[in-house]
C-alpha cells in the first residue's frame, strides 16, 4: 500500500453523502480523495496543489450542475487535460452524448460497482499518463528536429558568389523541418565558380543526413572544380557504400567568365534549363550519368556551352516540375520553359521569386505550404560585365 504522499489525488464531486461514502470506500486505499459537495466548491479545490489527477463528477447537483463544472474545467488551460468521469443515474443516450460534448471521458452509472469504478479510474489515469509521456516525447523530437533544421541551414551557403558579370540567385524551400535538397559553390577565383545542386530521395532526417555529406565531399573536389565529370565522379565515390535505401541526383555547372562559357554534367538530375538572351527561347541541356551513391565505377561526362550576356541558366530539383494543381496535374517541363521564356526582362532574384509565386498559384497553396517535395532553385544570370 502506498503512503498518502505518493498517492494520486482524485476529486470526488457529489452532493449525496451516501454516494460520497461509497466512492471513498472503493478508492481510498489507492488514492487520496478530496470531496466537494457543490460545483463551486469543486472549482475552488482544483486550485489546491497537487492538482487532482482525475475528477469523479456527479451530474445532478443544485446550483452548478456537473455539465457546467466540466465546461469550466475544459475551458481552463491548467485543468483541461484532467480526465472527468461523470457519476450519474441517467442512462439516456442524449444525456451521455451531452456529457461527452462538454469533455467527459467516461460514465459510471449509479448504483456503483466497485470493480467498475476502479477499472474506469485506473484506465483513464493510465491513458492520461501515456498521453503525457507521448507529449514529452513529441516535444523532444520537435526540439531535435529544430536543432537539425538549424544545423542544416548552417551548412547551406549564406550568400551567393559575387563575380563580375554574373548574378546568381538561390531559393530553398524544404518540405519539412529538414530536407534532402542541397546546393553549394566552389569559388575558384573572381572569374570561375562551380555550382552544385543535389536531391536526396525521400524526406526528413535520413535524407538530410545524406545531403550533409555532400558539403564535405564537394569541398574535396576543389582541385578539379573546372571538370564537372570529375566532380560528380568524386562525389559518387565519396557516397558509395554509405547508404542503401536512398539515392542522390545531382547536377554541376562550372562557369568560366574568362572564356564566356560554362560546362555541365548531371547524375540522374532534371536537365539544366538555358534561356538564350539572343532569341528569347529556352532549351534543355542534358548530360546525365547514373545516380550518385550506388555505382562506384560510373563515369560522368560533361558538355561545354558558350554563353553571352542576356543568357540565363537554371538549375532546379524535381519538386518544381512535380508541383501539382488541384486536379493533380503536374507543372511539367513545358510550362516551366514557357514561364522562363515569358519572364525574360527580369534579374535572377526576381525570376526566382516570380517562379515560386507561379508555383503557389499553380498548386493553390501559399508559398512554402502544402508542398509534396523539397524545392531548390538556382538562377544564373549572365550580364554585361560593363
Give the model confidence (pLDDT) of 81-112 as tens digits: 999 999 888 767 787 888 899 999 999 988 88
Rounded to an integer, the average pLDDT of 98-127 is 91
pLDDT band at 178 (very low <50, low <70, confident <90, very high): confident
Q: pLDDT at residue 183 above 60?
A: yes
Which part of the chain has CATH 3.60.40.10? Answer: 156-382
Please list the alpha-helical segments (H only) found in the chain: 17-27, 39-45, 66-75, 93-102, 114-155, 204-219, 228-239, 332-342, 348-363
What percent of the chain lies above the pLDDT cut of 90? 70
The Cβ-side half-sphere exposure at 131, using a 13 Å CA radius, reads: 10
- Residue 8 DSSP label: P
Average pLDDT, the chain: 90
Which part of the chain has CATH 3.40.50.2300? Answer: 4-136
What's the CA gap between 206 and 236, in Å, rounded?
A: 18
Q: How many CB atoms lie within 10 A of CB 291?
A: 19
The pLDDT, as a whole number, for residue 3 is: 64
The pLDDT, as a whole number, for residue 385 is: 60
Whether the Cβ atoms of residue 268 and residue 288 lie closer than 8 Å to each other: yes
Q: How far apart are the first and last CA of the chain?
A: 88
The pLDDT, as a whole number, for residue 239 is: 94
The pLDDT, as a whole number, for residue 175 is: 79
> 156-382 in CATH: which number?
3.60.40.10
Q: What confidence tens digit (pLDDT) does each residue in 366-381 have? A: 877 777 888 999 999 9
The pLDDT, as a whole number, for residue 386 is: 57
Rounded to an integer, the average pLDDT of 239-263 is 93
Q: Prior bond to 111 cis, omega within 30?
A: yes
- In CATH terms, 4-136 corresponds, of 3.40.50.300, 3.90.1150.10, 3.40.50.2300, 3.40.190.10, to 3.40.50.2300
Q: Which residue has the higher pLDDT, 4 or 135?
A: 135
Whether the Cβ atoms of residue 254 and residue 185 lie closer than 8 Å to each other: no
The most confident of the ranges 204-213, 346-355, 368-377 is 346-355
pLDDT band at 229 (very low <50, low <70, confident <90, very high): very high
Q: How many CB atoms lie within 10 A of CB 379?
A: 27
Which residues 6+ apart lie within 8 Å of 114 measured at CB? 26
Amino acid at each position: 500500500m502506498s503512503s498518502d504522499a505518493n498517492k494520486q489525488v482524485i476529486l470526488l464531486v457529489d452532493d449525496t453523502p451516501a454516494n460520497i461514502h461509497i466512492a471513498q470506500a472503493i478508492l481510498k486505499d489507492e488514492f487520496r480523495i478530496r470531496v466537494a459537495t457543490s460545483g463551486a466548491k469543486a472549482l475552488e479545490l482544483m486550485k489546491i496543489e497537487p492538482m487532482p489527477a482525475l475528477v469523479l463528477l456527479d451530474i445532478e447537483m443544485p446550483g452548478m450542475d456537473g455539465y457546467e463544472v466540466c465546461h469550466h474545467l475544459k475551458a481552463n488551460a491548467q485543468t483541461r487535460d484532467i480526465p472527468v468521469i461523470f457519476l450519474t443515474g441517467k442512462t439516456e443516450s442524449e444525456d451521455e452524448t451531452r456529457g461527452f460534448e462538454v469533455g467527459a471521458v467516461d460514465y459510471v452509472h449509479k448504483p456503483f460497482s466497485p470493480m467498475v469504478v476502479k477499472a474506469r479510474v485506473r484506465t483513464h489515469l493510465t491513458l492520461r499518463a501515456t498521453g503525457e509521456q507521448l507529449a514529452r516525447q513529441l516535444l523532444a523530437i520537435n526540439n531535435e528536429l529544430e536543432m537539425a533544421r538549424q544545423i542544416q541551414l548552417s551548412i547551406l551557403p549564406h550568400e551567393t558568389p559575387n563575380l563580375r558579370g554574373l548574378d546568381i540567385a538561390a531559393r530553398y524551400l524544404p518540405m519539412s523541418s529538414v530536407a534532402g535538397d542541397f546546393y553549394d559553390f566552389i569559388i575558384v577565383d573572381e572569374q570561375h565558380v562551380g555550382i552544385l545542386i543535389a536531391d536526396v530521395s525521400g524526406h526528413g532526417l535520413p535524407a538530410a543526413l545524406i545531403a550533409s555529406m555532400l558539403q564535405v565531399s564537394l569541398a574535396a573536389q576543389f582541385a578539379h572544380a573546372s571538370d564537372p565529370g570529375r566532380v560528380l565522379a568524386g562525389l559518387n565515390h565519396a557516397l558509395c557504400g554509405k547508404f542503401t535505401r536512398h539515392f542522390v541526383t545531382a547536377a554541376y555547372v562550372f562557369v568560366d567568365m574568362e572564356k564566356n562559357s560554362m560546362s555541365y554534367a548531371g547524375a540522374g538530375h532534371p536537365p539544366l534549363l538555358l534561356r538564350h538572351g539572343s532569341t528569347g527561347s529556352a532549351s534543355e541541356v542534358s548530360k546525365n550519368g547514373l545516380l550518385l551513391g550506388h555505382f562506384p565505377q560510373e563515369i560522368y561526362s560533361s558538355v561545354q556551352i558558350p554563353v553571352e550576356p542576356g543568357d540565363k541558366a537554371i538549375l532546379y530539383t524535381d519538386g518544381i516540375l512535380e508541383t501539382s494543381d488541384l486536379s493533380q496535374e503536374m507543372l511539367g517541363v513545358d510550362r516551366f520553359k514557357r514561364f522562363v521564356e515569358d519572364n525574360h526582362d527580369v534579374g535572377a532574384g526576381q525570376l526566382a521569386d516570380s517562379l515560386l509565386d507561379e508555383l503557389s498559384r499553380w498548386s493553390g497553396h501559399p508559398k512554402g505550404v502544402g508542398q509534396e517535395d523539397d524545392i531548390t532553385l538556382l538562377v544564373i544570370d549572365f550580364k554585361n560585365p560593363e
